[in-house]
Amino acid sequence: MVRVSDCLPALARAVSLAGVIMLVAAPVSAQTSEPDTPTAAATTPQAAEPAGAAPAAKPDKKAAAPAKVLFGAAKTPAPLAARAIGNYARGCLAGAQQLAIDGPAWQAMRLSRNRNWGHPRLIALLERFAADVRANDGWPGLLVGDISQPRGGPMLTGHASHQIGLDADIWLTPMPDRRLTEKEREDLSATTMLAEGGLAVNPQVWTAQHVRILRRAASYGEVERVLVHPAIKKAMCEATAGEKDRAWLGKLRPIWGHHFHFHIRIACPPGVAGCVAQAPIPGDDGCGKELEDWYKLLTAPPKPRGPPKPEPPPITLAGLPADCRAVLEAPAKN
């Protein structure tokens, strides 16, 4: 089955920009005009009150505000125990840890977005992954794109997922052998792995090292999914065609976009309530019918029936798990 809930392709991102600008103005005032303490109204949906109940509760404007505006404005993590709350595309993150801007084998990109925050388990995995590819895979280091916002949650631009600190985007461009300036980290373009036509990888840019780093990403027990463009999945299937152990290949999930970067998703940390796991992956290598179905979609996209569906309304704060309000409102440390 094809799911489009992961990363938005670049085109959709660009298209959504205009809408985003409109969304910024109104909800910010909703945020600042509300008290910062939760009230009974925050946990009692208005619709659940008996008709004619008096006195009427003050409308909870903050609960009805788009969560992407509220969480997009959070500049610091919630100083609470680390916890991924909700599901990958509807949730938030307590106790986020920041990936260092520079590490021994990585550099964080697009610093102005302030999205290099994740659950400590993900940050530890990224640090380990970076060291492993540098030591073993002929890959000088990782350029790390978006992880999550300081308190997770929906974002003003891009990404349906990345909300609970368990998703990270890694560029398919190797880290240069020098420290990038802040401006370069904003301006540098990633390279698409696709050949013209978009149905295969481009042998001019796709290398054996790409195969190695994607294999390694899938090798970690905590990694449940590695999202890549169908053409990259196909290239991975072909590069490993003679291998017997193919279970790890099943973690490489085809999805739109994801040819400039790949996306690592780790499992819900064990033993913590409130993190909603995804359905398990099918269990085969995904190189057969699933990939064929994707190629059918790529070569002959289904014609839309009827008028285009309206955009779903943005997720409101009340539409997130209840604990996300406490995450949003926890006072920053100092």
Tokens of 150: 């300081």
User: What is the chain's Cα-based Rg?
Assistant: 21
Are 325 and 85 within 8 A, CB to CB? no
Query: By three-state DSSP, how is residue 55 classified?
Result: coil
In terms of CB distance, is 39 or 157 closer to Zn ion?
A: 157
In terms of CB distance, is 115 or 325 closer to Zn ion?
A: 115
Q: How far apart are CA 133 and CA 127, in angstroms?
A: 10
Instruction: Provide, for the chain, the percentages of residues in helix, strand and coil under a 3-state DSSP scheme, each rounded to the nearest 5.
Output: 35, 15, 50
Q: How far, in Å, are 61, 123, 136 from residue 190 at the CA level?
A: 40, 22, 23
Q: How far is the CB of 46 from Zn ion (least distance, A)?
A: 35
Q: Which strands, in side-by-side order, build the sheet including 106-108?
A: 102-103, 106-108, 142-144, 167-171, 261-266, 223-228, 252-254
Instruction: Tell me which residue of 249, 216, 254 sits closest to 232, measured CA to CA.
Output: 254
Are 65 and 27 within 8 A, CB to CB? yes
Are 168 and 144 within 8 A, CB to CB? yes
In terms of CB distance, is 234 or 263 closer to Zn ion?
A: 263
Q: How far is the CB of 204 from Zn ion (least distance, A)?
A: 25
In terms of CB distance, is 42 or 268 closer to Zn ion?
A: 268
In terms of CB distance, is 206 or 260 closer to Zn ion?
A: 260
Are 177 and 22 within 8 A, CB to CB? no
Q: How far is the CB of 154 from Zn ion (least distance, A)?
A: 14
Are 270 and 83 within 8 A, CB to CB? no
In terms of CB distance, is 225 or 263 closer to Zn ion?
A: 263
Q: How far is the CB of 261 from Zn ion (least distance, A)?
A: 7
Residues in the site for Zn ion, rule: CB under 5 A? 7, 169, 263
Q: How far apart are CA 90 and CA 230, in angstroms?
A: 25
**Other C-beta atoms within 10 Å of 333: how many?**
8
Q: How far apart are CA 259 and CA 199, in angstroms?
A: 11
Q: How far is the CB of 57 from Zn ion (least distance, A)?
A: 39
**What are the beta bridge partners of residue 66?**
316
In terms of CB distance, is 146 or 290 closer to Zn ion?
A: 146
Q: How far is the CB of 74 from Zn ion (least distance, A)?
A: 19
Q: How far apart are CA 175 and CA 255, in angstroms?
A: 24
Q: How far is the CB of 241 from Zn ion (least distance, A)?
A: 28
Q: How far is the CB of 275 from Zn ion (least distance, A)?
A: 18
In terms of CB distance, is 82 or 227 closer to Zn ion?
A: 227
Q: How far is the CB of 159 from Zn ion (least distance, A)?
A: 6
In terms of CB distance, is 6 or 329 closer to Zn ion?
A: 6
